[in-house]
Amino acid sequence: MSVTDLTRADQKHLMLFAGRSHPQLAGEIADLLGTELVPARMVTYANSEIYVQFKESVRGCDAFVIQSHVAPVNDNLMEQLIMIDALKRASARRITVISPFYPYARQDKKHAGREPISARLVADLFATAGATRIMTVDLHAAQIQGFFNGPVDHLYAMPLLADYVRDHYDLSNLVVVSPDAGRVRTTDQYSDRLHCPLAIIHKRRDPNQAHTVSVHEVVGDVEGKTCLLVDDMIDTAGTICLAADALKAKGAARVIAAVTHPVLSGPAIDRLQNSAFEEVIVTNSLPVSAEQRIDKLTVLSIAPLLSAAIQAVFNDGSVAALMNQQ
């Protein structure tokens, strides 16, 4: 083999692959990277089995596999695993999973006997399929990073969401509110970036209701303020809407929310539409359908964040430095 051939063999080659769950986000990322998604044949057979075949050689490439784990979560997860397996068997050099919303993230520990730790199982499945790296945004629990025996790039949407709030609201009258004790650290980061005070909603059981009804107590001064509720996800929207009601009951003038992942299951859109919120700001980590895009809902793109992180990984740069620059 000549010197020229050795050089060519050692050249890095980025290739971008996407499942079928969120083509808009994948397309935005490809455009920002100045590349195209690798064409593939993907079929769901009548018995629900999934077939994947890539239409180009992937030998020796740095493969980045994008999939948003929206419902049906299990189908989208299985599709991504099959894509990874196909790339491994076709001799891709490195395979990075891009999962903006990590599936099963809420099952990160055991609360009772005979329960699974499904978030760990997902990490094991990615590794077994052939993934060498995971990239995700705003994990429900940071400890999930330790479930994967390889690099995990944990990205944060907080700068994107917080900067939107700074550009559209009067910060002199803003209070950042944690919906529960578990989100205080994240809320504190918003507070630091926006230079605003912090409040917390403390939830407890009402003894007068046979321990079945949660009472929301607001710790902090919110009267006459614009309250920014922050959380990592909105699923059915029940909890966050009750939190908004509690803030209004304590005299808040306005209530808005900044949430990374718009799961928006079941009655979520109806609840948000009829809630005390003036605006709910989310990212497009998961697809938001035209029917779900009510006037109160603002969707910001995380494609620039993900594309910058992909570029840093491909160039063997620092993803942590990228986050520090935000």
Active site residues: 203
Instruction: Select from 40, 17, 14, 31 the least CA-distant residue to 301.
Output: 31
| Beta carbons of 69 and 99 less than 8 angstroms apart | yes
| Cα within 13 Å of Cα(281), Cβ side | 23
Residue with tokens 């779900």: 292
Identity of the amino acid at 81:
L
Helices (DSSP H) in the chain: which residue ranges?
Answer: 3-10, 23-33, 73-89, 118-129, 158-168, 184-194, 238-249, 268-273, 303-314, 319-324
Q: Which amino acid is at 191?
A: S
> Taking Cα atoms as reference points, which of 304, 308, 321, 310 lies closest to residue 94?
310
Residue 23, φ and ψ in degrees, nearest 5 = -65, -30
Q: Are 275 and 247 in contact (CB under 8 A)?
A: no
Are residues 190 and 232 in contact, defined by beta-carbon separation less than 8 angstroms? no
Q: How far apart are CA 283 and CA 286, in angstroms?
A: 8
User: Residue written as tokens 């919110």?
Assistant: 222
Which residue in the block uniquely carries the two structure tokens 């793109």?
Answer: 301
- Report the distance separating Cα 171 and Cα 196, nearest Å: 7
Closest CA to 234 of 184, 173, 298: 298
Tell me if 123 sits within 8 A of 226, measured CB to CB: no
Residue 149 in tokens: 């025996």
